[in-house]
Structure 1
Amino acid sequence: NSHLVNDDKGEVATSLDKVNDTLMPQEPFHTGKNLNTGMQALNKDKEIEAHRVNLQNLCRICGGSFKNDPYKRVHPVHGPVDDEMQALLRKKEKRATSWPDLLNKVFKTDVRGDMDTIHPTNFCHNCWSVIQRKFSNAPCEVYFPRKGTMEWHPHSMSCDVCGTSSHGIKRKSQAPNPQVSKKLKIIAERARKMMYARSQKQVNNKSILKKITN
C-alpha cells in the first residue's frame, strides 16, 4: 500500500511540474524580443500602407501631384481607354483598348508589372493631354518637363514619396550632354562678340559725331 501511495505522489509531482512548465516558459527573456520584433513588423506594415496611400496622390508618369489640378482629374493606369480618346484613335485609324498600350507607345513606360506598393495607379490629366496631342498631330503646347521616365522605388527611410506627396516629386535632372554644352558655349561666345562689336561701333559713332560738332 505504501508503495502505491508513493507512486501516486510521484505522478502528482510530475503533473505539477508539467503545469509549471506550461505556465512558465523555459525562455522568458525571448518574450520581450518577440514583442519588439512584432511591433517593428507592425510599424513597417503601417509605413508601407501610408506609402501606398501617398502614391495615390501622384501621377505614374510625371510624378506630379493630383492636388495641383483644381478639377482633380485622374486616369487609371490599368483601366480602359476613355470614350474621348477612343473616338480620337478611331479617327486616326489606330487601335488601343487599354491605357498600358498607349502609355508604352507615348512615354515608353511599361506599367504591366507595376505593384501598388511601389507605383502610383493613376496618371494626371496633363499627361493625358500629351497623349491626346500626340495622336491629334497638334503641336504639343502642353507643359511636360520630360527628363526621362519617373523611377519609382519601394518605401525606405529617405522616401521621396512620403516626404513630398503634397506637391509631387521632382525628377532627377540628367547629366548635361557635352555636345549640347559645347554648342551653347559657342552661341554664347558669338553673342558676346557681337555685343562687343556693337558697343565699339557705338563708341566710334559717338567720337565721329563729336569731331563733326567740334
Structure 2
Amino acid sequence: MDAITLSPLGLFLAAGPVGRGVMILLGLASLWCWVLIIEGLFAAARLRRAVSGPIDAAAGAHLAPVFEAGLQAGSLVIPGESVGERRHRLAEAMGRAARLLLADAEGRLPDLAVIASVAPFVGLFGTVWGIMTSFAGIATAQDTSLAVVAPGIAEALAATAYGLATAIPASVAYSRLGARFAATASALADRIDEHAVTLVAGKARQ
C-alpha cells in the first residue's frame, strides 16, 4: 500500500459508501470540535482577564450583570438585618448572576464531552463495517490472500483512526477548558465576596 493510499484523502477514496459516510460524519464532528475549542479558549481568556484584572471599562462591562445584581440587592432595605446578613445577601445575589455569566461563557462546552464520548463508537462502527467488508470479499473471491482482505481492513483501520483523531482533542479540550472555567469561577467568587464587603461598607458610611 503506497503513501497516497495511506493519506486521509486516499483512505477516504478507497473506502466504500458506508465507510465514506462514517468518515464524513467524523470529519464534520472534528471541524465542529475545533470551532468549540477556539471559541472556548477565547471565552475563558476574556472572562479570566475580566475577573483577575482591575475593574476598568472592559472588565466592568463584562462583569456588569454581576455588579448590577449586587447594587439591586443593596438597594433593598430589610429592617433588623445585620451587616453580616446583608453582606451574605448581596454575595448570594451576585453569585446567582455570576453563575448565569459562567454558563453563558461556557457556551457549548458540553458538546465537546458528547463528541469525545460518541466519536470512538462511530469510528468503531466503521471498523466493524470494514471487517465485514473483508469477510464478504473473502466469501466472494473464495480467497484469503492479502489483496482480497486489504481494502476492507484499510477501511476499518481508517475509521478507527478518524474516530480517535476526533475524540482525543475533544476529550483533552473539555478537561482543560473545564479546569480553566472552574478556576475562573473560584476567582470570581472571591471577587464577589470582596465587592459585597465594599458595598456593605459604603452603605454603612452613608
Q: Compute the TM-score of the two structures, normalised by the length of structure 1.
A: 0.28
Q: Which has the higher helix share?
A: 2
Choose 1 or 2 for highest CA Rg.
1
Structure ranking higher on relative contact order (CA contacts 8 Å, 6+ apart): 2
